[in-house]
Amino acid sequence: MLDQFISSLTDGLLLGFVYGVAAMGLTLIWGVMAVINLAHGPVIALGMFGTYLLFTHLGLNPYLALAPVAVFGLVMGLVIYGVAVHRVINAPHLSSLLATFAVNMILIGLGTAIFSTSPQNIDFPMGSLSIGFLTIPVTRLFATFGALVVTAGLYLFLYFTRPGKAIRAVANNRQAAELMGIPSSLVLALSFGLGTMVAAVAGGLISTFFPFTILSGGPYELKSFVICVLGGLGNPLGALLGGLILGGLEGLIPTFMPVSWVPVVEFGLFVLVLLIRPSGLLGAK
């Protein structure tokens, strides 16, 4: 029983790191510009397809493919921001919600037309690592490492670079930042781009161990909302913590009860955090 407990917790936590990165993109966009990005799911899915296409057509190692996928995610974010979000950034939340929902539907429609909804799979076996009773697929270890690199990179960018500091300044008080000469429109576009970049990279990491379709981003988008609330909206480190909690729960709950109880506990916790600590475990930023 203890073996099973530890195995399930390990699997859950490893997955939790990737959940955390997926949620980081969402929480960054919310934290900086108070926009709920409903196109988050398809962006994750496009990250999966980007990695897949580079792997299958160019023979690129899927982990190396994450670099061009990140650039693609950044550019896509800038485009989405310019086309659909910029004009409604100061409008009521419903406008930006509907604008990103429209982008979500367009991306899914285009993705379905181009890729169909047949599951795709990156066949890049890396074997498994056996430590006593624990068997861990190496792809998950690499994904965890990737998640940690992305988190550290984002943290260093936000706290130790001028554009990062500008993003934090705009997130804190946009008007004051503008008065200090920070071009807020550019910073907002960059933040959106960074958010989608992180989401696309998360998709790329997930694609190395789960088969996927263009619709596969949906469940991660939903989990990202829960994670953002758990960790604190707008807080990237909180997103990682939230991801680990969610992953851990998903690993452990089925050990004790039927798997259908997972969403009950997850969303129960979601409501509980909203009631007791609405700003999340690490507080909003």
Partner 1 sequence: MKRTLFFLGLIAIFGLLLGTVAQPTVAAAAEKTVLIGFTASQTGKLNVEAIRQINGLNLWIEQVNSTGGVKLPDGTVVKFAVKFYDDESKKERVQELYTKLISTDKADFLISPYSSGLADAAAVIAQQYNRIMITAGAASDSTYKKGFTLVYQAYTPASRYLTGAVDLLAKMDPKAKKVAIVHEKDKFSTDVVNALKAYAEKKGLQVPLFEGYDSGATDFAPFINKIPADVDAVMGGGHFADTSTFAKQLFEKGVKAKMVALLVAPPEPKFAELGEAAYGVIGASQWQPEAKYSQEGAKKAGIDWFGISVADFDKAYNAKFKEEPSYHSAGGYVAGLILEYAIKKAGSIDTAKVKTVLDDANLMTFYGVIKFANTPKDHGLQLGHEMVYTQWQKDQSGKLANQVVWPEEAATAKAILYFPRK
Q: How many residues bind partner 1 (CB under 8 A)?
A: 34
Q: How far apart are CA 273 and CA 140, in angstroms?
A: 29
- Name the CA dihedral angle for 23, 207, 222, 96, rounded to a multiple of 10 degrees: 70
User: What's the burial of 278, exposed, middle or buried (CB within 10 Å: 0-12/13-18/19+)?
Assistant: exposed
The answer to whether residue 8 forms part of the interface with partner 1 (CB under 8 A) is: yes
CA-nearest of 227, 211, 217, 171 to 194 is 171
CA-nearest of 74, 75, 100, 76 to 87 is 100
Which listed residue (92, 123, 132, 179) binds partner 1 by CB under 8 A?
123
The answer to whether residue 7 forms part of the interface with partner 1 (CB under 8 A) is: yes
Taking CB under 8 A as the criterion, which residues in 9-38 touch partner 1?
A: 11-12, 15
The answer to whether residue 130 forms part of the interface with partner 1 (CB under 8 A) is: yes
- Closer residue to partner 1, CB minimum distance, 11 or 221: 11
Q: How far apart are CA 240 and CA 23, in angstroms?
A: 8
Q: How far is the CB of 222 from partner 1 (least distance, A)?
A: 12
- Closer residue to partner 1, CB minimum distance, 119 or 268: 119
Contact call for residues 267 and 273 (beta carbons, < 8 A): no
- Closer residue to partner 1, CB minimum distance, 119 or 278: 119
Q: Which stretch binds partner 1 (CB under 8 A): 84-92, 117-125, 156-164, 192-200?
A: 117-125
The answer to whether residue 142 forms part of the interface with partner 1 (CB under 8 A) is: no
The amino acid that residue 132 corresponds to is G
- Closer residue to partner 1, CB minimum distance, 131 or 179: 131
Contact call for residues 92 and 21 (beta carbons, < 8 A): no
Q: Which residues contact partner 1 by CB under 8 A?
A: 4, 7-8, 11-12, 15, 112, 116-119, 121, 123, 125, 128, 130, 135, 137, 139, 209-211, 213, 215-216, 219, 250-251, 253-255, 258-260
